A and B are shown apart, each in its own frame.
Chain A
Amino acid sequence: MQPPAERPFWNPYVAGFVLGLVLLTSFLVMGFGLGSSSAATRLAVGAVHLVAPAATEANAYFSQYVGPGKNVLEDWLVFEVLGVFLGGLVGAYSGGRLKSEVIRGEGISKGRRIAMAIVGGLLMGFAARLARGCTSGQALTGGAVLSLGSWVFMMCVFAGGYLVAPFVKRDWR
């Protein structure tokens, strides 16, 4: 079967407006907004819990996720992020963009790109736990309910990105 032809991206303002309606729906139905990073955390904690259950439950931070009577994956955000994956898959397929590849700038090797992706991911995983959320759970969600800390966080995300962007310019040329 021929995959669908590539469709253009939406007008960013339209995409933002529709995303705002999705976020609003989450607040109206659930009383809270969207998130991402804590699903990754739960998956990771679940994995180490399989290997070393006692040590993981004894950890002061992980004990909020695992312990007697707690299922680390039985959480709203885990299911929500499962939905994000499925929505992304359907979107990419129907948009003609479902393709196995490594996105990278022209001047850098595949190895460097993957190394950078891992290092950036490490920083974000650590930062998201420190800030109790990422661009989804803090900036987008907290931003919409005007949480003071979420707005501080959002400004700092942009500041951090702009500060370091000149040093990794060649990765994105």
Chain B
Amino acid sequence: MSLLPLYPLDAFGFPAGLLVGTLIGFAFGFVLERAGFGNAKNLAAQFYLTDTRVLKVMFSAIATACAGIGLLSGFGVLDLSLLTVPETFLGPHVAGGLLLGVGFIVSGYCPGTGVVAMASGKWDAAWSLLGVMTGSLLFGYVYAPLEGFYKSGAMGSVTIAEALGIPFPVLAAGVVAMAVGCFLGAEKLEAVFAPKLGKTAPVPNPTVRNRVFAGMGAVALLGVVTVALPARTRATASAPLAKIGSVELAQKIVASPQDLWILDLRETQPASAERIPGTLSLPEGTTAAKLAATLPATRTLVAYGRGDLATLPEGLRAFPGEILVLSGGFDAWKNAVLATPQPPAEPTPALIAQFRMKSALNGYFTGAAAAPPPKLVVKAVATSAAPKKGGGC
């Protein structure tokens, strides 16, 4: 069982979370100040390559946190599926990124560093933040015509690791290697560009620098090692899925629909006739996995695809209750429940009972009248006389 992250695993409540947030923010602000980010000149220098402090701090932070997440999730201590991954919207991310970059060099701050600079007494940062507040209001006022673009290129919470099919810790090690490469390149650029603009290139203590590189590299490599281990998280991820048959599911839907959450995992959401009755409809902009994470565990969750599901989406495992997968998917459901059942060729009481049940289910789910069961062929050896009319009581 994973121990982390604490808050999604209900270790504490919302008010305590706000206190934790203030403390984490305090550390964030303090480190940004010590990094030199309370001064616009240090930030703007990034874009003239005289001092690439922004790249060094930001990319070291990303590489460190990424490698740490890879290592802890590799050991099964941290449940990767419970971490919030910002959703991808390609169009808005490209346009918003370009625009924010322009705002960054024009104002000399980004929103977070602006807060630190304002706390350091820098009035230009206070004005910049006033601009940020006004700009976000502006967005709200022109939201209606922009809504289509704002939601365009939606890909959900997708990580580059998932997109490339590479284990997270391995890609994290790649990020660390890329970061170190960028740093060495950036130091070379500083040596070229700083003198051109009459500045001296910064020379961070190389011993300290190499120790940080070694530390990040060690965490990343340990993370890669966990991929080779039979880690528990990966064991559960590939554990066989519990199945339910179509007929059994149909019976459950008739008898106790209040005990089920039914989720359609097919990529395109079909018309209601092409779905199992009782399937939860997905609100716009959400995914089945996200919806599942919000459902209470008081019911059994039944997931189905077009055919057999080989794996469940990562986020679906965040559902704390029992998860069943419809064996054979919607195709099997069509065959077993929606197709008119054929009467048994050699009727026996057991087969007839089954046929009655199947045609009742077929009638229930298609609206067709249940077919009459075939006559039971009573064998001649049956000795007992036909029951007396009127019964014996």
In contact, B212 and A120 (Cβ under 8 angstroms):
no
Give complex CA distance A125, B209 in Å. 35
In contact, A17 and B85 (Cβ under 8 angstroms):
no
Beta-carbon contacts under 8 Å, B1-52 to A: 4-8, 17-36, 38-42, 44-48
In contact, B204 and A12 (Cβ under 8 angstroms):
yes
Interface size class of B (residues with CB under 8 A): 35 or more
Chain A neighbourhood of B69, CB < 8 A: 24, 27, 144-145
Q: Check if B111 is an interface residue, CB within 8 A of chain A.
A: yes
Q: Check if A54 is an interface residue, CB within 8 A of chain B.
A: no
Give complex CA distance A104, B124 in Å. 8
Shortest Cβ distance from B202 into chain A, in angstroms?
Answer: 8
A84-B28, A85-B29, A129-B140 known; A40 vs B129 contact (CB < 8 Å): yes
Q: Check if B64 is an interface residue, CB within 8 A of chain A.
A: yes
In contact, B35 and A114 (Cβ under 8 angstroms):
no
In contact, B102 and A163 (Cβ under 8 angstroms):
yes
Chain B neighbourhood of A32, CB < 8 A: 83-84
Map CB proximity to A onto B356-383 as digits: 1 under 8 Å, 0 otherwise.
0000000000000000000000000000
Chain A neighbourhood of B87, CB < 8 A: 132, 147, 149
Beta-carbon contacts under 8 Å, A123-172 to B: 123-165, 168-169, 171-172
Chain B neighbourhood of A131, CB < 8 A: 92-93, 95-97, 100
Give complex CA distance A122, B136 in Å. 8
Q: Check if A53 is an interface residue, CB within 8 A of chain B.
A: no
Chain A neighbourhood of B18, CB < 8 A: 76, 79
In contact, A129 and B139 (Cβ under 8 angstroms):
yes
Shortest Cβ distance from A90 into chain B, in angstroms?
Answer: 6
Chain A neighbourhood of B117, CB < 8 A: 88, 103
Map CB proximity to A onto B261-303 as digits: 1 under 8 Å, 0 otherwise.
0000000000000000000000000000000000000000000
Shortest Cβ distance from A10 into chain B, in angstroms?
Answer: 5
In contact, B122 and A24 (Cβ under 8 angstroms):
no
Beta-carbon contacts under 8 Å, A14-33 to B: 14-33
In contact, B127 and A21 (Cβ under 8 angstroms):
no
Identify the closest chain B residue to A92 (Cβ). Answer: B120
Identify the closest chain B residue to A139 (Cβ). Answer: B58
Give complex CA distance A164, B53 in Å. 19
Shortest Cβ distance from B53 into chain A, in angstroms?
Answer: 5
Q: Which of A103, A105, A155, A173 has the most CB of B within 10 A?
A: A103
Interface size class of A (residues with CB under 8 A): 35 or more
Q: Point out the residue from B59, B90, B110 that lies within 8 Å of A149, measured CB to CB.
A: B90
In contact, B64 and A17 (Cβ under 8 angstroms):
yes
- Where chain A touches its partner, the secondary structure class is helix
Map CB proximity to A onto B182-219 as digits: 1 under 8 Å, 0 otherwise.
01000000000000010000101100110011011000
In contact, A151 and B103 (Cβ under 8 angstroms):
no
Give complex CA distance A142, B291 in Å. 21
B residues at A contact (CB < 8 Å): 4-8, 17-36, 38-42, 44-48, 53, 56-66, 68-69, 72, 78, 82-90, 92-125, 127-141, 143-144, 146-147, 150, 155, 157-161, 163, 168, 171-172, 175, 183, 197, 202, 204-205, 208-209, 212-213, 215-216
Known: A81-B25, A122-B132. 18 other contacts (CB 8 A): A12-B202, A15-B36, A28-B4, A80-B21, A84-B29, A88-B38, A104-B124, A120-B108, A122-B138, A126-B135, A132-B86, A132-B87, A144-B69, A148-B163, A149-B88, A152-B88, A160-B97, A171-B44
A residues at B contact (CB < 8 Å): 9-34, 36-37, 40-41, 43-45, 47-48, 59-62, 76-77, 79-92, 95, 97-105, 113-114, 116-165, 168-169, 171-173
Listed by A's residue number, 29 A-B pairs whose Cβ atoms lie within 8 Å are: A22-B24, A29-B6, A29-B24, A30-B6, A33-B65, A36-B110, A36-B115, A77-B21, A84-B25, A86-B25, A89-B120, A91-B120, A101-B121, A102-B122, A117-B107, A117-B131, A119-B131, A122-B131, A124-B131, A125-B134, A128-B100, A130-B150, A131-B97, A132-B87, A135-B113, A147-B159, A160-B100, A169-B48, A172-B108
